Amino acid sequence: MPANIPVEVSEHVIDMLWDDKDTLRACALTCRAWVPRSRLYLFRSITLRERPTVYALADLLDTDESIQHLIQTVGVKLDKHTLLLDSFFAVLGRRLPRLHELSFTGRSLGRPFFPHITRRTCLLASFTTSIASLSLQSVILRSFNDLARLLCTLRHLRHLNLNHTTWLNDGTYSSKLITSHGLKLETLRVTSTFGPTPCVRTMLCAVDPAILKEIALDSCCGLGIAPPFEWIPVDLQEFSALENLSIYIEDILSPSTGLEAAVAVLSSVTSSALRRVYIDGICLRPAKYERPAMRKSVSDDLRAALSRPVYAKLEEVCLRVGDFDRGLVAAFVSCFPQFCERGVPPLEVYDSDTGISRFVKECVRPDAINGHLATPAYSASL
């Protein structure tokens, strides 16, 4: 290293390149003084693929034990080995004392991933006491009991994300393993996860309502497992500490049913701590519905839900609307004058054909004919 460049300056440059793995490797190979800071970011977050990488990492950790304290996030991408959960916890569980975030991802297409979560898996997982965040994506579990058993093992879990998670055994969507308010979660995200309402209610009942701050649900979380896909509202009135609420409306629902799902969830919120509301995927297809009736229904339902006192302190509210026409968008915008006055962006419109997304700047001008605000002007930013 040139003598005129202090190590502190070099480390500051490396700090700014924390997510560029190739450059970090080059830094570690260029100068001995750069190795500690480069290695800090290289090993902070790692991704494992297939069983051999698990054993290779274990050998590396045994060779240099200082690396054990650098690893905080591990992503395991699994395509073939169904017993890799056992391998991960057995081989790496005690070797990662600072592991904070763990994610398992299967294939989203093609051959699905069926992980075995046995009692042995949970026994091995119990030795990994530092995990605070768990994510399961594109995973098919044997039963809901498998998930319950794993969650009860991770005593310090605070954040749970289930995305495209389903069950082989459709008959069980509750578990005696999860006690009421037994999970001390701060974040619960259950999206694109098909399961009847009892499954979702079991998860919500298992969470301590005085601790949970963020909930993300999609409208499929309350669906049945076979047609007709009837949606049953999920009640959030017990969650007094809720700050962030996200609702994702899936394409499997008709526009009216999806909107009813979103409004029902909004109407059940009682938390005065709520700061952010995000609803994504509302589709307005005027060809299938009478526009005046649809317009009135949209305005009345959303205004009634969002005019409640619990939403008075919202700092951010966003609805993403697709498959729209300007008249129906105007009906949506008319529900949010109080937010626009405070400078809160109320509505984001996206074109499903082009993928272009843009915020709507409200025209504060009443429409005497329809009782709504005039058709909004589109703008790239507020």
DSSP of 44-90, one letter per residue?
TEEEEEHHHHHHHHHHHHHH-GGGGGT--EEEEE-SS-TTHHHHHHH
Whether the per-residue pLDDT at 360 is higher than 90: the answer is no
Distance (Å, rounded) from C-alpha 294 to C-alpha 259?
Answer: 11
pLDDT for 48 equals 87
Pairing of strands 316-322, 347-350: parallel
* Burial of residue 195 (number of CB atoms within 10 Å: 0-12, 13-18, 19+): buried
Q: 86 phi and psi, to 5 degrees?
A: -60, -45
Residue 3: pLDDT band by 50, 70, 90 thresholds?
low
Higher pLDDT, 152 or 251: 152
Residue 244 β-bridge partners: 214, 276
Q: Which residues contact 303 (CB under 8 A, 6 or more apart)?
A: 334, 335
Q: How many CB atoms lie within 10 A of CB 136?
A: 24
pLDDT tens digit string along 220-244?
A: 555 444 444 455 557 788 898 999 9
pLDDT tens digit string along 298-321?
A: 557 777 777 788 887 777 777 666
Residue 290: pLDDT band by 50, 70, 90 thresholds?
very low
pLDDT for 101 equals 95
pLDDT for 90 equals 84
Distance (Å, rounded) from C-alpha 50 to C-alpha 105?
Answer: 12
Share the mean pLDDT of the chain.
Answer: 73
Whether the per-residue pLDDT at 210 is higher than 80: the answer is yes
pLDDT for 86 equals 76
Closest CA to 39 of 64, 62, 8, 58: 64
In the numeric block, the tokens 């507020």 are attached to 382
Least confident window among 16-20, 110-114, 194-198, 361-365: 361-365
pLDDT tens digit string along 45-54?
A: 998 887 788 8
Q: How many CB atoms lie within 10 A of CB 24?
A: 21
Whether the per-residue pLDDT at 35 is higher than 60: the answer is yes
Of 8-17, 72-81, 256-265, highest mean pLDDT: 8-17
CB 220 within 8 A of CB 190: no
pLDDT for 204 equals 82
Q: 49 phi and psi, to 5 degrees?
A: -130, 125
pLDDT tens digit string along 246-278?
A: 887 765 555 556 667 777 788 888 888 888 888
Q: Tell me the mean pLDDT in the region 177-200.
A: 74
Whether the per-residue pLDDT at 70 is higher than 60: the answer is yes
Whether the per-residue pLDDT at 293 is higher than 80: the answer is no
pLDDT for 368 equals 37
* Structure token pair of residue 42: 């290289």
Residue 134 β-bridge partners: 102, 160
- pTM to 2 decimal places: 0.80
Q: Tell me the mean pLDDT in the region 95-99.
A: 91
Residue 282: pLDDT band by 50, 70, 90 thresholds?
low
